[in-house]
Amino acid sequence: MFRLREFFANCRPHLYERVSAESLAVLRIAFGFLMAIDCWNERGLTVAEQRWGDIDQCHFPLFETIKPMPLKWMRILYYVMLGGESN
């Protein structure tokens, strides 16, 4: 039978072990790179006119009362998101 208390007691010594920060650095760099690609491609900055140009169409499923910002402000928001990923 699985005992949660024993599991945490066995894991506790491993939490205080010294490890190299290189793997974390590589993971953070890769994640930032993938998020930058995501901002341009998946989130729609490359097709912003088609996606956010019509303010009468709802773009938020299950939240029909929320209306998107105008195209100009959506572009600014995406550029701020992209800039925030590089930090």
Which residue bears the tokens 């590089």? 86
**pLDDT reading at 87 higher than 70:** no
**So what's the pLDDT on residue 83?**
76
In the chain, the number of structural domains is 1
pTM for the whole thing?
A: 0.41
**Integer Cα distance of 74 and 77 in angstroms:** 5
More confident: 29 or 83: 29
Range of the domain at 58: 4-85
Tokens of 84: 């925030």
**Integer Cα distance of 83 and 87 in angstroms:** 7
Give the SS3 label for residue 65. coil
Q: What is the pLDDT of residues 1-55, one digit of tens each?
A: 678 888 888 888 888 888 888 988 999 899 888 887 776 666 656 666 666 666 5
CB–CB of 58/64 below 8 Å? yes
Residue 86 φ/ψ, nearest 5 degrees: -85, -5
